[in-house]
A and B are shown apart, each in its own frame.
Chain A
């Protein structure tokens, strides 16, 4: 399944993007796009039409909650997984209300990321 799953990574940290990319590529997922802020993500989403979006919360310009809302508005079936740190509970909840499918607390193990995506694709 992983083989044809297309993922878009949204994170303002290049390092984080790289970590996530590596984890996913290890498992055979295809990274179809990387955005470093919400605005880019919103613009990129309709172009790449990913199966899964991993979404950071605090980013410059447009943050993850806003981006989640916008993407959900573009595509109500969008599957968005929030990747965030402990202590951002309030924001994660907001993102869940905005339609996020799951959340992952940083730092996370590879298995957590994979399991979350697998679950979201069910």
Chain B
């Protein structure tokens, strides 16, 4: 204890040590009782840390080491890597006692340094080592004597910095240096790579870091600007210096290599394996997907030239190439996929220790059997499955397997069996967790469910075992408070199930009283590809993961029965519920009463078979799942989207979700949840609507889509798109020059066409949704006058010259949503928002606009969407000629017949989307619910003018006037979008 300055220091040290020790004593014991208590873990870690830190000042090496070791244990516990077992607790208590002994020796003037700690530390390390390891271990790179080769990087200054050998944390020092260097210039390149600075090799080297920066500072001014402590030396090399050094080196070794800041030796010493981040493989896989899609384009060309006799030879060649590329893509895909696979044993092995410790702690006798450890599965899936599996294993140990005595009484062997089994089945991996314990206690589950208000007593009286089993997945039941004795320490079975479903897997439970519980998790071999059956329902195409399908049947009419108000289908000897998919999704079915047979997909859901009635089985398909946008997850019954070879987007059904919707619908019990769903759609506004439609549209357009859409996650993609579209929002008071002449030939074909196409195809759902939401959100709408007034007052801000930012922001968001919505709807990017201006104009100036309208020679048609509660409206104005063309375009693309008499209905859809984009944005920004009203078609200039004039209130002196023009690229179609809001005068 060379550094203890005086008695006073020692006294404070000991006082604090004793305080900390008594805390440790209590906390360690508390930890045993509440191993999941993160707060205790954080605090205990902090205390160990303090003990260690303080000990350092007294030069008490053994105390430092011990404190450090304890700190490590707590850290690992926090991370969940080290199970908190009795044995661990015992060792920790011993550590604490030893610290106490050291403290005493110190207090009594003895030799604290002589108290041995190594044996304890070794035991603690034993615990840590046997704990499951992180599944990545850093590659030990052996390049101690790195010799930096200065390269010449034009336009840069190289700052070489040597960190002092006295710095105990050189990587952190390097980090600090980097922040300083970043302040004096833009870092173009640096060495060594950041992750290498963390390695001991860097600490043991000469600790040089280098930054090629772009800076305005003179060479000589740089060192003093990097005033970081513990820096040994700074050397600055400007461009000339770099060049000179490089030249010199070339002369010396006669080579002309352009160094990369790393020594030649390093570059040539790589072995024959490399480590690749999974994320990079993801990108690669996505690219293969793109390749397949791109190739489909070729396939389409081949289709086109197929019937041209003069092109027979060309067609053959194209066909061969297409095949070839498909084959190569498939090979690459497989290879990439394979490189993502790792043996599941990596996870299984964690449980050896876990179970053994548990066994020792609980006194239960448990034998763990691992089977199929070599089974390979996608790395990402394994990572995602660690937690759920741990939960399930812990459940089996805590609540499945009984105490030895109980088992013996039941006539079972004293030792309980826990089996983890993995095996591959086609493109799926089954993971089975099986115990021979007491099984699920249905009585208890049901009574808990009644307590939690999930079931009524009446419902409970008629519940089947299968239904009761389902209850454990109910989020209200499997939370900590309500079900401690059912599923352990707050382990949510609902979360386990959800995790599995997120991975496109399924989870099934089989349980027999006193015989045990078996949980079967079926996971796709890879996240990236699923095997699915494509079916049609009405005009829609859906895919159903093969994992969910038990069989497919064509059922005759006699085998569909109505039993107690529910449709059932006879499947051999049993009756199973029949779910009509078209009803789930509100789609008209193409089935007619004359059909002789009906295609039914039999799916299994928690041991229950259910039939899904579709219109047609199409084909089996292997689909590359692209990363899904978040919103998909929130659409019940849909688990994601994929893209077919022809660029067609297809929705993937979530069988469990569908069954849930069905149950809700048929029980009537959970109607509120359905409402939630609908209102969600409403709040998400055009984006979500458009996604739904996009999918539909895509499907409809299928083969003849002129633009191959290569992005399956529309809204994610489009997030950044608006930046690229030429949109300007200005709130400048430019003179009012509304460009109302929509027939102005623009070399572009705008939104409207595409939109309309799409919109036409699925006009009804949007209308349904909006009208539903309007009805159901009665409480939120503006029937009450005072509410209306309050809302208007808030919206008045739009006219406030000091709040221009609100207006700007509204237009910005509205424009983005409009473009996104419409592009998503049409799947086309050929639609541009050409300009967008928002300004206030004085009411008398409205004449300018009206005069302009009057002066227009063409016949105009206006799709007018009122904005509630404002007196304003969105006007979507086209010439009648253009409107007709737009309708035709939409219909053609949607594969619909063009009626003799033009019906503007498709354009109404477009208007709906545009209008709601702006109303939603306004709602979003102001928290005032602004909704689109019922759209009206104004079929003449006079009507348009009258409509605008009628809105102008006597008191309004200003009008908020926003002018946009949408353009269809490749078509000479432009459409004006005007938003007019008269001054709010409440």
Contact = CB atoms under 8 A, between A and B. Distances in A.
Contact of A103 (B8, B166, B172): B172
Contacts of A87: 68, 71
A96 B179 contact: yes
A116 interface: yes
Interface stretch (A7-15, A38-46, A66-74): A7-15
Contacts of A27: none
Interface in B36-92: 43, 45-46, 49-50, 52-54, 56-57, 59, 68, 71
A17 B175 CA distance: 27
B169 A89 contact: yes
Contacts of A92: 169, 172, 175
B5 interface: yes
How many interface residues does chain B have, given as a range? 20 to 34
Centre residue among B12, B49, B198, B229 by max chain A CB count within 10 A: B229
A122 B172 contact: no
Contacts of B169: 86, 89, 92, 103, 105
B257 interface: no
A119 interface: yes
B56 A14 contact: no
A58 B175 CA distance: 20
B194 to A, nearest CB: 11
B57 A107 contact: yes
Contact of A119 (B46, B71, B172, B227): B227
Contacts of B54: 13, 15-16
A63 to B, nearest CB: 9
Given A12-B50, A89-B171, A102-B228, A19 B176 contact: no
B12 A103 contact: no
A47 B398 CA distance: 55
A13 B168 contact: no
B532 to A, nearest CB: 43
B800 interface: no
Centre residue among B15, B53, B176 by max chain A CB count within 10 A: B53
A115 B229 contact: yes
B168 A86 contact: yes
B891 to A, nearest CB: 57
Interface in B1-37: 5, 8-9, 12-13, 15-16
A15 B228 CA distance: 28
Contacts of A120: 229
A31 to B, nearest CB: 15
Contacts of A18: 8-9, 12
B176 A13 contact: no
A57 to B, nearest CB: 9
B229 A119 contact: yes
A58 B49 contact: yes
B48 to A, nearest CB: 10
A103 B176 contact: yes
A105 B228 CA distance: 15
A83 B53 CA distance: 10
A106 B5 CA distance: 17
A75 B167 CA distance: 29
B52 A89 contact: no
Nearest to A99: B179
A85 B227 contact: no
A8 to B, nearest CB: 19
Nearest to A110: B3
A93 B172 contact: yes
A14 B56 CA distance: 15
Interface string B207-243: 0000000000000000000011110000000000000
B229 A107 contact: no
Given A15-B12, A92-B169, A107 B5 contact: no
Interface string B658-697: 0000000000000000000000000000000000000000
Contacts of A22: 5, 9
Nearest to A103: B172
Interface in A14-59: 14-16, 18-19, 22, 58-59
Contact of B175 (A15, A16, A96): A96
Given A18-B12, A19-B57, A58 B46 contact: yes
Contacts of B198: 89
A19 B9 contact: yes
Nearest to A19: B57
A107 B168 CA distance: 10
A54 to B, nearest CB: 13
Given A96-B179, A102-B229, A15 B13 contact: yes
B57 A89 contact: no
B203 to A, nearest CB: 11
Given A22-B5, A122-B227, A89 B172 contact: yes
A19 B8 CA distance: 11
A13 B47 CA distance: 10
B52 A85 contact: yes
B175 A13 contact: no
A59 B167 CA distance: 24
B168 A105 contact: yes
Given A119-B227, A119-B229, A14 B12 contact: yes
Nearest to A59: B46
A105 to B, nearest CB: 4
B12 A96 contact: no
A15 B56 contact: no
Contacts of B52: 85
B228 A119 contact: yes
A91 to B, nearest CB: 10
A87 B46 CA distance: 12
A34 to B, nearest CB: 13
Contact of A107 (B8, B12, B43, B56): B56
Interface in B300-335: none
Contacts of B227: 119, 122
A1 B166 CA distance: 25
B227 to A, nearest CB: 5
Nearest to B231: A119
Interface in A80-118: 85-87, 89, 92-93, 96-97, 102-103, 105-107, 112, 115-116
A100 B946 CA distance: 66
Nearest to B176: A96
A60 B16 CA distance: 15
A85 B229 contact: no
A85 B53 contact: yes
A13 B16 contact: yes
A71 to B, nearest CB: 17
A111 B68 CA distance: 24
A106 B229 contact: no
Nearest to A120: B229
A95 to B, nearest CB: 10
Contacts of B175: 92-93, 96
B57 A97 contact: no
Contacts of A96: 172, 175-176, 179
A84 to B, nearest CB: 8
Nearest to B72: A87
Contacts of B179: 96-97
A106 B319 CA distance: 71
A45 to B, nearest CB: 22
A107 B2 CA distance: 13
Given A19-B57, A93-B175, A102-B228, 16 more contacts: A16-B50, A16-B53, A16-B54, A18-B8, A19-B9, A59-B46, A85-B56, A87-B68, A89-B171, A93-B172, A96-B175, A96-B179, A105-B169, A107-B57, A116-B230, A119-B229
15 contacts: A14-B16, A15-B54, A16-B50, A16-B54, A16-B57, A59-B46, A87-B68, A89-B172, A92-B169, A92-B172, A92-B175, A97-B179, A106-B56, A119-B229, A122-B227
Closest 9 CB pairs of A and B: A107-B56, A119-B229, A105-B168, A106-B53, A58-B46, A15-B54, A15-B16, A89-B172, A15-B13
Interface of B: 5, 8-9, 12-13, 15-16, 43, 45-46, 49-50, 52-54, 56-57, 59, 68, 71, 166-169, 171-172, 175-176, 179, 198, 227-230
